[in-house]
Amino acid sequence: MTPGRRREARRRPFVYAHAEGGRDVWRLAILVLVLALATVGCGARGAAESAGPNGSAPALPTSAAPSLAASSTPPASPPPAAPMVPVVTPAVALGGAVTAAVAPTAADDVAEAERRAAAAEIASYAERRKRPRAVIGGCEESCERPESALSALIDALTLATAERRVEALWGRVDYSQLVVDGEPRGEAWSALWQDVRSHRQREDEILGFLGEVAALRDQAVDPAAMSSLRGAGTVLRPVPGRSDIYEAQLRLPALRPGVRGEGAWRLGLVRRGWEWLLVELDRAPSRRPFQADRYSGSVATGRL
């Protein structure tokens, strides 16, 4: 820096520094431009030297030509890769269109398992919610048909002891509609059932009735003759116009003197739910006609 510039810099330092900085920037820009031009010129000269006389690609060295010409076997190529065959499951026809099925994934398996579990739970719930069998008397399978109900009543009457006969008869009677020798005992027992304090009285009266019926074997002249109840004298027939009630006639064996009756019993069987139950016992059937209209039964099996 000349003495004059030093004096100027000491007198006005800010202005001088700004001017000097601008000069330095211009010097740097000129230097960069010169270097860029030099680099471009070197690259063009190298490309011209590597090209042939007519600007073609450079020829191979003469030493390499004989080795390539002498080789008659083409260079070994890599083995072809196996073709990629997409895995496609058989097509599935849906509504006339053919759609390629997709292989199930783990997520699909989980969804299917959940669906099956839900279906099993619904089926189990539906099974639990099924309406139970309509049971009125308690004889169930042994009285699901009128023929089997009458046969079971006869079996109960022929048992050896009175206690066993009463126990066997207990679940074969409709105690809400029972009529005995024209007397509607079922109505009285239904009224007693309404009051819990009368339940014991109702039970005692029912046991008294069953004891009367069970005593038939002891009233026979020959108890072994009770087997005749299954003979030709026993008749079972449906009531005309009714599908829920049957009438039966039992031809009794010879009874001891003093036993009331006519030598035959009339029984009425009515369908209640799944069971055919006794609703009438008349030990003097010739005195009273069979009045089927006073009894109500199930219009279909299993209904009340």
| CB-based contact 272:172 (threshold 8 Å) | no
pLDDT for 131 equals: 59
Q: Which two tokens stand for residue 250?
A: 């039992």
Provide the pLDDT confidence category of residue 123 given band limits of 50, 70 and 90: confident
pLDDT for 10 equals: 60
Provide the pLDDT confidence category of residue 84 given band limits of 50, 70 and 90: low
Provide the pLDDT confidence category of residue 125 given band limits of 50, 70 and 90: low
pLDDT 10s digits, 161-185: 999 999 999 999 999 999 999 999 9
- pLDDT higher than 90, residue 132: no
Fold of 140-294: Nuclear Transport Factor 2; Chain: A, (3.10.450)
- The whole-model pTM stands at 0.57
pLDDT for 68 equals: 39
Higher pLDDT, 115 or 105: 115
- Per-residue exposure over 240-272, b if at least 16 CB sit within 10 Å of its own CB, e if not: eebebbbbbebebbeeeeebeeeebbbbbbbbb
Provide the pLDDT confidence category of residue 38 given band limits of 50, 70 and 90: confident
The amino acid present at 99, given as its one-letter code, is T
Helix residue ranges per DSSP H, 158-222 = 162-169, 185-193, 199-214, 216-219
Lowest-pLDDT range, 53-67, 152-166, 184-198, 243-257? Answer: 53-67
| Domain assignments of the chain as residue spans, ordered by start | 3-40, 140-294
Cα distance between residue 168 and residue 175, in whole Å: 15
pLDDT over 70, % of the chain: 65
154 burial type by CB count under 10 A (0-12 exposed, 13-18 middle, 19+ buried): middle
